Amino acid sequence: MDIVKLNSGLPGVSVGMPVYNGEKFIRNALDSLLAQDYGNFEIIICDNASTDKTAEICREYAGRDPMVKYHLNETNLGPFKNFGKTFELSGSEYFMWAAYDDEWEPSFISRCVEAMENSPSAVMSYSAIEFIDEDGKPFSSPGHDCVKYYHLLDNPDLSMPDVRERLKRLFGRNGWYSTYGLVRSEVLRKTRGMRSAFGSDVVLLMELCMQGPFAKVPEKLFRYRILSAKKFDDFLVQFNLSENEKKYPYLLFLYDILEAVSIYRPEISGKIYRDLVVECYRHDKWKGHLKNFADGVLFVKDSVKKSEYHRLFALLPFLPLAIF
């Protein structure tokens, strides 16, 4: 896909923005991206059949700036397919997803590209995060989770060469916002992409992590907006799970991780399985999920390919270590 090249000497960057009914925040997001000091990028907006004024706003921006490409889906594809479509329409060396309600400092793209160019082995780069509320104000109260647990929410340092260490550190987070970092397009194409599965964004990060280290820019150049929390059951609706599957979403998530490990790192899969269970033991939430693990394994065989669910049983010898 041809993009406007303001400086042909710079690597191209495609920014994919999936959106559905984003009229409240999308102007801020687009203004923030168009204020980037990087000289060679495009913005690809995929509108998932919005019913508000999103289309009107996007056409306005696309009409006045050739760097903005607007695509309106005839029907709602669901969030994951819409994420994937933004990447399918891209054609640059680097790619990044951008949420319609987030904001970026003007140097975000340039600093991330610089980090990648300086680290040829890195597959992704990102900056530290500043969490903001619906009004765009940073959280400052010491008691707020975004402040209290910032060390577990901020994008981690995953620059180490050891893939097992990278996966352990990534898995042990309380937030996985690295999805909105800058990635090498050729590496992203080797993954299974963003899929309609519970936790697929985290699994995607793990698939990338298994292919190389991530480079982190230490400054807070990315502002992630925290919106009103949805109830967990409402959140699960988008995955089209059966009633039984809703009982074990984290088990399905763990299965998905094991499947990814078997695809990308089969030679050390057993060691990684053990690493992840030990990491689960360090977190009360995951330890609680593991207590129901054995009961769920027999159920999951009905939800995945029967020739593959044995990977779940591969974890069973390690469960006593995690539970007791």
Residues 17 and 44: their CA atoms lie apart, in Å, by 6
pLDDT score recorded for residue 242: 73
Q: Residue 273: in which H helix or E strand, if any?
A: helix 269-281
pTM of the model: 0.87
pLDDT, mean of each 10-residue run, the chain (324 residues):
56 97 97 97 98 98 97 95 96 97 98 97 97 92 86 92 94 87 98 90 95 98 86 70 74 83 91 81 66 51 46 46 38
Q: How far is CA 117 from the centre of its chain?
A: 22
CB 213 within 8 A of CB 161: yes
10 Å Cβ neighbour count for 23?
Answer: 17
Q: Which domains does the chain have, with CATH numbers?
A: 13-225 (3.90.550.10), 232-323 (no CATH)
* pLDDT given at position 304: 47
* Token representation of residue 75: 């029907």
3-state SS assignment for residue 305: coil
Contacts with 57 (C-beta within 8 Å, 6 or more apart), sequence order: 23, 26, 27
Distance CA 90, CA 2 (A): 9
At 194 the pLDDT is: 92
CA distance readout (Å), 40 to 14, 120, 179, 220, 237: 9, 20, 21, 22, 38
**pLDDT digit string, tens, across residues 3-44:** 444 566 789 999 999 999 999 999 999 999 999 999 999 999
10 Å CB burial of residue 283 (0-12, 13-18, 19+) is: middle
Residue 7's H or E segment, with its range, is none
Neighbours of 299 (CB within 10 A): 15
Cβ burial of 60 (10 Å; 0-12, 13-18, 19+) is middle
Looking only at the bridges linking them, the beta strands covering 103-104 and 214-225 are antiparallel
Q: Per residue in 148-178, pLDDT tens? A: 888 888 999 999 999 999 999 998 887 789 9
Write the CA distances from 185 to 97, 124, 216, 223, 315, integer angstroms. Answer: 12, 10, 18, 23, 33
| Non-local CB neighbours of 59 within 8 Å, separated by 6+ positions | 70
Per-residue model confidence (pLDDT) at position 9: 79
Rounded Cα–Cα distance for residues 198 and 238 (Å):
9
